[in-house]
Amino acid sequence: MKILYGITKSNFGGAQRYVFELATEAKRMGHDVAVLSGGQGALVKNLTKEKIKVIALNELERDIFIAKEFSSFLGILKILKQERPDIFHINSSKMGGLGGLAGRLAGVRKIVFTTHGWAFNEPRPLWQKVIIKFFVWLTILLSHKTICVSEKTKTDVANWPFTKNKLVVIRNGIREFELAPKTPRDALVVGTIGELHRIKGLDILLTAWKKFKKNNKAVLEIIGEGEERQNLENMASNLGISDSVVLKGFVDNARSLLSGFDIFCMPSRSEAMPYALLEAGLAGLPVIATSVGGIPEIIESGVNGVLVPVEDAETLFSTLILLAEDEELRKRLGTNLKSSIQENFSFEKMVEETFALYQK
């Protein structure tokens, strides 16, 4: 098969990890593979290392500009007519909408759309949510099949007109990876990995950290880059916790550094099926995460992690205290989560189900 993957941004967040993993596996299986993306970010660099063809469409951006959208649409349509893929697998809202329409006009045999979370679940004005929902609905209709990475993602849209038979749940899966050697430290390390975006709830974590740090020898490490960096630095300074908060920025192969954490924290306002959480689980870490999106499909609170309410710094603080003071609990939660990830979120299962969908 000739498979063209499409995604809006070329940084290396969860959606880009998904495209990279599927594209490299498709190539290994002997398929003709290319990836269409906006920009020249880390995704492009990683794909190039794997000798996978990358088609960059620089005018394709996440933000909406009418003139650029028309130009991007024409660019995608032209590329589809040149490449003539059997499968056009589109990811993210912008690529989903533009790519779905272009794919239909180009006569692509099968258009598959993977949603990595709905933008209408993010905090934003009601009018924006209404517009986004309309375009999401169109994207689902234009695609032959829509992959939802969690049951919650599916139920969010399952009752919309004409969508039910187009939706299929294929959860994200990950393969085993190598951890960096653990360096002994005399302080508890709480960490997180993710894009520095308001949706990740890191402001709530900093608020909880101020109270937690008063009576605990601990360090908070935040790995990732993004638009909220300056705000987070300012907030840490204003709260008087800069000495115990480390913003490490983007780190290539960040998951290898999970060995340096004692607790993994994901205080997000919205998630679908986060890779960072799956990776933390596979690394055997105890996890504190908000009960949003597909996270409760990974974490059973009290059994293999702890779920906390969204934007609840007080509960997050008390949960940090609970885990910090109980090493046996941390070990038990981490061991249980690792077993669950290995059993239910394997890379092989995700690939098998995805390629079966391609061939239907």
pLDDT tens-digit series, residues 21-37: 999 999 999 999 999 99
**pLDDT for the residue numbered 57:** 92
Which CA distances in Å does 260 have to 17, 210, 223, 321, 340? 22, 21, 12, 19, 22
Instruction: Please state, in angstroms and rounded to a whole number, the distance separating the CA atoms of residues 123 and 325.
Output: 34
Asked if 306 contacts 285 with a C-beta cutoff of 8 angstroms, the reply is: no
pLDDT mean over 33-45: 94
**pLDDT for the residue numbered 93:** 86
Mean pLDDT over each residue of the chain, to the nearest integer: 95
pLDDT band at 63 (very low <50, low <70, confident <90, very high): low
**pLDDT for the residue numbered 160:** 97
- How remote is the C-alpha of 181 from its chain's centroid? 26
pLDDT tens-digit series, residues 5-17: 999 999 898 999 9
Q: Does 340 score more than 90 pLDDT? A: yes
pLDDT band at 65 (very low <50, low <70, confident <90, very high): low
What is the bridge-based pairing of β-strands 53-56 and 32-37? parallel
Percent of the chain clearing pLDDT 70 (strictly above): 98
**pLDDT for the residue numbered 62:** 59
* 151 φ/ψ angles, rounded to the nearest 5 degrees: -65, -35
pLDDT mean over 197-226: 96
**pLDDT for the residue numbered 53:** 98
**pLDDT for the residue numbered 66:** 62
Higher pLDDT, residue 123 or 65: 123
Instruction: Domains for the chain: give ranges and CATH numbers.
Output: 2-173+346-359 (3.40.50.2000), 188-344 (3.40.50.2000)
Q: Does 123 score more than 90 pLDDT? A: no
**pLDDT for the residue numbered 291:** 98
